[in-house]
Structure 1
């Protein structure tokens, strides 16, 4: 997916991508505490409480030097200018993203606003900046001053940046429909990730989360939100990925073997170039290190399948295991536009592996020495004109699929495979995969005909989507999950998904009488609704992927800048605020049994280690550059560093939303534990104990 439409928009609008970014190169966030001074940015911006206090002190210091009669005229201008460090577009306002220019002392001002400021407050210029060049040339010359404060991309100048609909549409929030929508809050688990394309768990009772970046690196996050310093796997030297915005190639898929606890096997899906520079996708098997469960043995890679890609886009990328124990692979149609390959396109051609859902048995070799077997009930295994791996066909570029765990009590829905299939230029769709199904592409897009000739073919016999939406709603679907966790039972049975291009979050609910699916928008709650410690109500715009942890709780990954090398991605967990206010015991057991996974790697500092009032002070920076150092846990060797990373030393550390899970298994455990953080972590996170959610 990641994504042809984004590249087209980039070409159309130049750099106008709506790219919020702070001066420390991190994404904007919602401060956990009220901002007294720069309050305009307390719901979404780049300042925490300490930074806000520093700006306020500077403001009053300047005002002490200004004539009292000028206070009313200049006070508002000076406050506006100082508070631009808190703007979600601070990096643009101060030209921080341009390595060819020094960081500005003053933000970029639009010419009309700058002219008014110069007219009323030019005596304050020397107090706002120490730049001698500005002092010497510009205090008396309005035109020269305002030209100097101009920025190359005028879409980002203040105050017009606040009015720019292209930049501010859905900035950190989702618009509610007229009837209202489901309000949820978020907890930021990790940030500083480079296009996080997936998060999976090993289903081994350790409750570790494996988060993969598009460049080809997989990180291990522990149940308390901390991250191991050494990656689980690093194959960026093999993966074909570029820094181009919207490039869909890269590390795309990962799945653990259903018997991973016994055999240590897992599988990956990535783009690469062979020795002849031919672009392909590869599905490989690897094993975990014999000496460290948190490290993969990269030398164990065994290629299962390679498929040539005729174009750079539509690479698919999902791999998962069904309840039948077989592996399901989801490939794109080969790229370009309109599936132009052959008479019917790749997707309708059952002799091609492109535009398909494939199913293979990875536990053995076939008679023709392929490193996998064909399941005996594959629908086209006896068709000489079809590839036996094909399980379903007629798909364009399914981006993110999932297996429904089923209702916790009735098991209804268990085993269904849901997929989001990215459309061409009119419709996005959500499908449930069935054996032998034809999902219509390129004859149809959504419910409508795309290729009239193919669409009118009586033999098409296609399966319609359970839901489709037009491009006025969103332009690139990101498939999600049916919620089956225990922390938010109000969400049980909802298929939660989103749109990559506009950041919209949606849910589908199945009407049991009609068996039809109805859409409901998801709104991230207001500041008041999400006022619990550690919760936020904003997120990065470009929704890359959804995820489910071992307990069935739901997450999603998003970035503010969709480039494989841009460290602006974050991992968010959904939280139902109603459950925090009315914390009731659900109708079914809600226990988490966490097993220990000892590691030889250092552990990055747990986000729970800082007290609330300490989370915004400057912290010492470690030599490794991964983050601030902190005490060593008694149960594991090495230091801990936060899952939220800083990109530069000596910057203000922003408090994570994963700080206090309130109330959650961590807070309940904390309330009944005594002693140090290390003792609490050892007893409540890393040992095999049952914890109530």
Structure 2
């Protein structure tokens, strides 16, 4: 047991110190530079994963397979056959063959979508000769089913028939100021996407909210469940700024299956129907993890919203497990002050959803809220003086020192001159409507503002029209963004905010020109609506039509680095290890299979470092298999580096 614990600790240590390289071979080793050219897979004679012996074996396999293929397909399909056989020589074949085990493609590389469509269109008949995997062969009836099955889960690392290491798109110099990024289409056919959020329950699900009232489940390969996870479209008011705006999972979601949504709705009054904003609790179905139970709705908070503008809409749990709710001034004209602390409008509320208050509220008041016991303030208020806060992000802290952990930045939409980004602080007053951004609007009141907190960054309307708050980047695919707060503007530009020498500095994110080739985009085509993030910390950009319509024009993009130069393998290895250890007793449960059942037959989830073995039965065999692979990795490491 001592040896196995040391093995795990060493793997984590090596991963965190980036001794694993981005180039990764199909057998788990690192790609190396060859001094002797390869005779068959000659395009990989430089940096690659094949020795001359492996190259010779591939040549023999190619010859044997070619003799079985009818001669009428040779001329058109011979190159496809060779390229797929030689894919193992690619310096990133470990990603194509997914040695981290989220797919069961066996001896078949994960393909890029476009290349797969081309292969199927021109040479469908040779596919049975490329693999013996019955799971793949069962899917070759149509292009959609085949390519959905064999395309790489992460399309940033997929096989497109070319040497990934010398891919021209990866090496071409872009004329714009580097670094530059691209937008990779992830989900389409939405009316107005409003949020993307991952859940830390080891299912790798993404929840995408459509403002008209539905939440859909997507997976990292872009596939989605057919039925919505939650459909409250009959209750949602989808007009002006209202709609289904946000979602948050309870910190103990794995046990209690509770989640929360913020949406606009309406109810009958003596004067007719009155619109409101509402925060409600729901539970996931006990029978189907991909559907919410509508009957479990518990209304936590509800406020009248007569004009349907500036509802706020962010809900999130802080480090202490309390729910934060941002509310705008619920107005359109700058006539009402959010400095009236006997009302909730224009505030960040902080509440305890796990208890009922003695005064009859369906939530509790945290004892350390800043205004508890102050008769001039509602006890729910954590901060106030906001106009229209739209999207907040919470920082995990510096990886080495932990500095900044729990820091929250919110975008607050201005009136007619200034947009601002605010660092959320306990008891702070952000000054609306006496202040807009950094400037005083009402000269006779400015010096009377108590606890005024100026924005950490602001910009004039000559540079944009409405700020869209975002998230701190904590992924591994774009290291140049690590620790930075990514935000944007409704007009379509993106930027980062970072703390340097005690000053917050904003830097524009450049979209690449030459590198963003189809299907990648280098601009927001409509309006920037929101941002989202998955459990791994990768960011998503949401665009939609405005003014709103019922057309399904909304698009969710993944923010990507087209150079693919990130050192991602260490992050992947560390994260997969965490996932595996938490799932070790659940790998064979029906959840991992059922969650895709409405899409296509699911590729079975495999072991962390294996691509060919079936999942062993029982907790002990899973642990033993993991330990054997960990020991194998450490042996390979010491042979290479020591």
Distance 2:210 2:254 in 1: 24
Note the C-alpha offset of 1:496. 0.8
Matches within 5 A, 1:65-84: none
Structure 2 length-normalised TM: 0.63
| Preserved CA contact (<8 Å) 1:503 1:543 | yes
Q: Is the 8 A contact 1:292 1:598 kept in 2?
A: no
Rounded Cα–Cα distance in structure 2 between residues aligned with 1:506 and 1:434: 23
Q: Distance in 1 between matches of 2:201 and 2:595?
A: 19
Rounded Cα–Cα distance in structure 2 between residues aligned with 1:571 and 1:604: 22
1:540 maps to 2:540 = no
1:230 aligns with 2:227: yes
1:302 aligns with 2:298: yes
- Matching of residues 239-388 of structure 1 within 5 Å: 239-242=236-239, 247-276=240-269, 277-338=273-334, 340-341=335-336, 345=337, 347-388=338-379
How many Å apart are 1:634 and its aligned residue?
A: 5.8
CA–CA distance in 2 between the matches of 1:453 and 1:205? 55
Does 2:196 align with 1:199?
yes
Q: Please say if residues 407 and 492 of structure 1, whose CA atoms lie closer than 8 Å, have aligned partners that are also in contact.
A: no
For residue 507 of structure 1, the aligned residue among 496, 507, 519 is 496
SS in structure 1 at match of 2:379: coil
Q: Deviations over 1:625-648 (max 9, x none)?
A: xxxxxx533659xxxxxxxxxxxx
Q: What do residues 412-449 of structure 1 show as CA deviations (whole Å, max 9, x unaligned)?
A: 22111110000000010001101000011111111101
The 3-state SS of whatever aligns with 1:408 is: coil
Aligned partners of 1:587 and 1:673: how far apart in 2?
Answer: 19
Residue 255 and residue 455 in structure 1: after superposition, are their counterparts in 2 closer, same or farther (change >3 A)?
A: same
Name the CA distance, whole Å, in 2 between partners of 1:411 and 1:477. Answer: 28
1:521 aligns with 2:508: yes
Between the aligned partners of 1:311 and 1:582, the Cα distance in structure 2 is 47
TM-score of the two chains, using structure 1 as the length reference? 0.59
> Where do 5+ consecutive residues of structure 2 fail to align?
1-113, 116-174, 615-625, 634-642
Instruction: Return the alpha-carbon distance in structure 1 between the equivalents of residues 349 and 244 of structure 2.
Output: 19
Tell me if the contact between 1:486 and 1:590 (Cα under 8 Å) persists in the aligned partners.
no
SS at match of 1:336: coil
CA pair 222-204 structure 1, distance change in 2 beyond 3 A: same
Match of 2:601 among 627, 632, 645: 632
CA deviation vs aligned residue, 1:283-321 (integer Å, no higher than 9, x gap): 111111001111100010011111112322111111000
In the TM superposition, residue 588 of structure 1 has moved relative to its aligned partner by: 9.9
1:425-444 equivalent positions in 2, closer than 5 A: 425-444=416-435
In structure 1, the gaps of 5 or more residues are: 1-47, 50-177, 606-630, 637-665, 677-687
**Distance of 2:257 and 2:423 partners within structure 1:** 30
Name the CA shift for 1:526/1:489 in 2 (closer, same or farther; >3 Å).
same
Task: Note if contact 1:430-1:467 (Cα within 8 Å) is conserved in structure 2.
Answer: yes
Inter-partner Cα distance in structure 2 for 1:456 and 1:520 = 32
1:482 corresponds to which of 458, 472, 484:
472
Is residue 2:389 matched to residue 1:398?
yes
Matches within 5 A, 1:81-92: none
Report if the CA contact (8 A) 2:593-2:604 is conserved. Answer: no
Q: Secondary structure at the match of 1:507?
A: strand
In the alignment, what sits opposite 1:72? none
Question: What is the SS of the residue equivalent to 1:490?
Answer: helix
Aligned to 2:487: 497
Is contact 1:497-1:506 (8 Å) kept? Answer: yes
Instruction: Give the conservation status (yes or no) of the 8 Å contact 1:241–1:564.
Output: no
Q: 1:599–1:371: structure 2 CA closer, same or farther, 3 Å change rule?
A: farther
Change (3 A) 1:408 1:576: farther
With over 3 angstroms needed to count, the CA separation of the structure-2 counterparts of 1:634 and 1:519, relative to structure 1, is closer
- Cα distance, 1:556–1:634 mapped onto 2, change above 3 Å: closer
**1:574 is matched with which residue?**
559
Aligned counterpart in structure 1 of residue 207 of structure 2, from 206, 210, 218: 210
Deviation at 1:555, TM superposition (A): 1.2
1:204 & 1:236 partners in 2: Cα distance? Answer: 26
- Residues 518-537 of structure 1 show CA distances to partners (whole Å, capped at 9, x for unaligned) of 1111111123x235x86443
Would the alpha carbon gap of residues 483 and 226 (structure 1) be closer, same or farther in structure 2, given more than 3 Å must change? same
Counterpart of 2:87 in structure 1 is none
2-structure distance, mates of 1:675, 1:363: 44
RMSD: 3.3
Residue 280 to residue 634, structure 1, CA distance change in 2 (3 Å): same
Cross-structure match for 1:416? 407
1:412/1:576 CA distance change after superposition, 3 Å: farther
**1:585/1:325 CA distance change after superposition, 3 Å:** same
**How much does 1:201 deviate?**
1.6
In 1, Cα distance between equivalents of 2:289 and 2:409: 30
Residues 506 and 522 in structure 1, CA contact (< 8 A), matched pair in contact too: yes
| CA distance 1:584–1:333, change in 2 (3 Å) | closer
Q: Is the 8 A contact 1:506 1:519 kept in 2?
A: yes
How far apart, CA to CA, are the structure 2 residues paired with 1:215 and 1:283?
16
Cα distance per residue 1:593-633 (max 9 Å; x no partner): 2757447676565xxxxxxxxxxxxxxxxxxxxxxxxx533
